[in-house]
Homo-oligomer: A and B are copies of this chain.
Amino acid sequence: MSRPEPEKSIPELTSVFTALGDATRLELVARLGSGQPRSIVQLAEGLEITHQGVTKHLRVLEKAGLVMSERSGREKHYRCVPEPINDARTYLDTVAEQWDAALLRLKKFVER
């Protein structure tokens, strides 16, 4: 009945969703989930945009808190940070629950 009370602030949530709202970044997210931390060139492998383009996408992910980076020699290694994804998941859970309930109420209402 009550609206979703997010644990994280709305701005934090929107920045996570915005970060996920791009095909290239979803690809990076997928790549970072399949193993060790990876450098920018590694992550850019096979993508048809420049390294700079990838760097920008990684910065978006980093600002949203989805990844962390660490310098190692001349390379910069990015790794995934699961917490924000889980926050977003939790939020979507409550929204989905709310919407399902709303639809149930509506159905009953239509049946008089």
Rounded to whole angstroms, the CA-CA distance of A85 and B93 in the bound complex is 9
Looking at A18-26, A40-48, A50-58, the stretch in contact with chain B turns out to be A18-26
Asked whether A102 lies within 8 Å of B11 as measured between CB atoms, the reply is: no
Binary contact track A1-34/B, C-beta < 8 Å → 1, others 0: 1111000001101111111111100100111111
Instruction: Give every chain B residue within 8 A of A103 (Cβ-Cβ).
Output: 80, 82
Instruction: Give every chain B residue within 8 A of A93 (Cβ-Cβ).
Output: 89
- Copies in the assembly, this chain: 2
Interface size on A, residues (CB 8 A): 47
With A35-B105, A93-B89, A99-B80: A30-B3 Cβ-Cβ less than 8 Å = yes
With A3-B33, A23-B14: A95-B99 Cβ-Cβ less than 8 Å = no
Asked whether B20 lies within 8 Å of A14 as measured between CB atoms, the reply is: yes
Q: A5 CB to closest chain B CB, in angstroms? A: 10
